[in-house]
Amino acid sequence: MLSLKLAWRNLFRNTRRTLLTCMLVTSSLVVIILVDGIMLGMIDVMVGGITKTLEGEAQVNRKGFRENFEPELFLSDPDTISLALATDARVAGHAPRVIIGSMIASPYNTTGGLVYGVDANSELGVSRLKEATYEGSYLSGVKREILLGKLMAELLEVSLGDRIIITAAQVDTSEITQALFRVTGLFEFGPEEMDQSLAFINLSAAQPLMGMDGHVHQIAIRFVDPEDAKNKSLPTLINLNKGDVEALGWLDLQPSIGGMIEMSSYASAIVGAVLFVLTSLGVINSMFMSIYERIYEFGVAKAIGTTPRQIITLVLLEAFLLALMACAFGILIGYLASSYFESNGIPMGRMEMSGVLLDGNMYTQVRPYQFVTFPIYVTLLTVAAAIYPAIFASRIVPSRALQRAL
Amino acid sequence: MKTVIETKDLVRKFGEAETQVTALSHVSTSIKEGEFTAIIGPSGSGKTTLLQLIGGLDEPDGGDVLLSGTNIANMSGKQLSDFRRDHIGFIFQSYNLIPVLSAEENIEYIMLLQGVSAAERKARVREMLALVGLEGLGDRRPAQLSGGQQQRVAVARAMASKPDIILADEPTANLDSTTGIALLDTMRDLNAQLNMTFVFSTHDQKIMDRADRLIHLEDGVIQLDETRQS
């Protein structure tokens, strides 16, 4: 208890220096909490951008279909798959799709793109096509409806009500087929590639167009718990992986995003490491200054029988108390700052990363571990940074320290 | 009376080559239990060096120091720390109390190092404060005490561990005459009551007047060793 009291009081011999060091450690903790919160927010936006925009959290496709969107690679028994998904409590929604690589022509221009034949109601539970439709109306099941991406509509120089001709090769015969549609809505997902190359028609129109009645190319899935999509041993997906059918979560569907998430966690670690190195240097400097000021006292302490280990313990205890104090402030300030940005966001402007649009504010995410794990790291590292000064103090030779007196 | 301090052919040199200075040259002496000894001599005569070597705070270049028959050269760093803690009390010229601890806590600190129980520590602190005449001032920090009071706390701290030997370097140098005399009388009383061995390095005539024995050092050599009737 006396050692604790001594260490605590030693901290306040030079209050200004202690507070400055404390602020340094506090700042590092706050920055780490914020950076982690931002990274989590960014990952959330990126994952959300992938899974909520169109792809879904998981997909069932024929093997090889996603490589080139070959129309022949359709699911031959989608009803069984749909039934399995409809009765699975883990699945919140699923949407069957026909995906056609086709020529899309207006009276004024022509472009290539992917036309999705979707079931309007099912799609509501999987993608945000309806929310992205900013002009006109969402699909209602009427045969000749088509939704165009904003950029595609600009390219084709069409607006609501204009005619669009879809030209594609039928699945069975490879014969060229054409169908007429009228633009009923314009959507904007955000990423340029999507808004320029995607169009949506009703599934009931797409299947006969492609000569694939009753068949679909893809079934997109949304889970009740989004974490299920990352679970490679999830029965829902395992049971669907049969023969030439593959059911994959978004991490497998978009390995580049998985890589980016991994990279962002490295980025957090690098930021943390740099901060900790700088903080450690500050702590080492502060502890050394404190020791140099008391070098005579350490000489006395050793003279009266304090062992090197006891001196090390005292210096480390001082560092520990400094870290505790800094962490208390850091947790408070970090929580307030992170909570503020969780509610109000950090203005980030508009940018696209790996096909995901980051637009507007970046909202941090507050997680309990940020206020437990990071302070523990900060405390351990502060104490670790004090080891060198502590060893230095323990090696002070009493006769040299006491030269002015004994 | 048994011999508690013995030095044999002690040599201590500082610096190297041309700048080398011999602080102590083949100093041999012994001090018996309960003696009140003053090492005297001009500045640079080697008094402090001798005290440091006796206290195990420095290592000799030659010769041996035996404390209660134990050669401290054979001790490890930890053994030496423990030995100092349990057998030697130090009193310094500049008091050297820990400024952030109260008088009581300064006295208690060394007992904490010894692993004395909290209850015994408290009791012994009260006892020591009474011995040095500082009852009621135990909760004051050093800065709130006069120089004489601080040195009394230092004496109490030195004695709290119940050492066999107390080594004091110029303990009255920073005190006014009256305070110095009062402190010396306290130490003399303790010496008489507890049969504690006191060794001083000093220029102070007041200490010399009260010492049983005077060891005159000059240029690192004992010039005179006189025992007096107290």
Residue whose structure tokens are 């909290």: B118
Check CB contact under 8 Å for A405 and B113.
no
CA–CA separation, A251 vs A316, rounded Å?
Answer: 45
* pLDDT value for A405: 40
The pLDDT value given to residue B188: 86
pLDDT for res A359? 65
Nearest CA distance, A45 vs chain B (angstrom):
53
| ipTM of the shown complex | 0.80
**pLDDT the model gives residue A256:** 78
Task: Give the DSSP H or E segment for B65.
Answer: strand B62-67
pTM, two decimals, is: 0.74
Residue A139: both structure tokens together: 């699909």
* A366-375, A383-392, B127-136: least confident range: B127-136
Nearest by CB to B112, which of A2, A402, A406? A2
What is the band of A6 on the pLDDT scale with cuts at 50, 70, 90?
confident
Instruction: Return all residues near A227 (Cβ < 8 A) that are at least 6 apart.
Output: none
Q: Which range (A73-82, A255-264, A280-289) has the least confidence? A: A255-264
Which residues in B lie closer than 8 A to residue A3 (C-beta atoms)? 112
Q: Supply the pLDDT for residue B159.
A: 84
Please report the pLDDT score of residue A357 as a whole number: 64
Give pLDDT, residue A254.
80
Q: Which residues pair with B20 in a beta bridge?
A: none
Better-predicted residue by pLDDT, B23 or A356 = B23
For chain A, what percent of residues have pLDDT higher than 70? 96
For A162-215, how does the pLDDT look when each residue is reduced to its tens digit (9 = 90+)?
Answer: 999 999 988 878 788 899 999 999 999 888 888 999 999 999 999 988 888 888
Interchain CB distance below 8 Å, B90 and A406: yes
**Least confident segment among A49-58, A146-155, A338-347:** A49-58
CA–CA distance, A206 with B52 (Å, rounded to integer): 99
For residue B108, what is the nearest residue in chain A, using CA coordinates?
A2
Say which residues have a Cβ less than 8 Å from residue B215's Cβ, sequence separation at least 6.
B29, B37, B38, B39, B40, B222, B224, B225
Give how far the C-alpha of residue B172 lies from the chain's centroid of Cα atoms, to the nearest Å. Answer: 12
Mean pLDDT of B59-69: 89
Chain centroid offset of residue B108 CA = 18
The verdict on a CB contact (< 8 Å) between B57 and A13 is no
For residue B169, the chain A residues in CB contact (below 8 A) are 405-406
- CA of A46 to nearest chain B CA: how many angstroms apart? 55
Which chain A residue has the Cα nearest residue B104? A2
With a pLDDT cut of 70, the percent of chain B lying above it is 99
**pLDDT score recorded for residue A366:** 93
Return the pLDDT at A353: 64
pLDDT in the model for residue A406: 37
Q: Is A354 on the interface with B (CB under 8 A)?
A: no
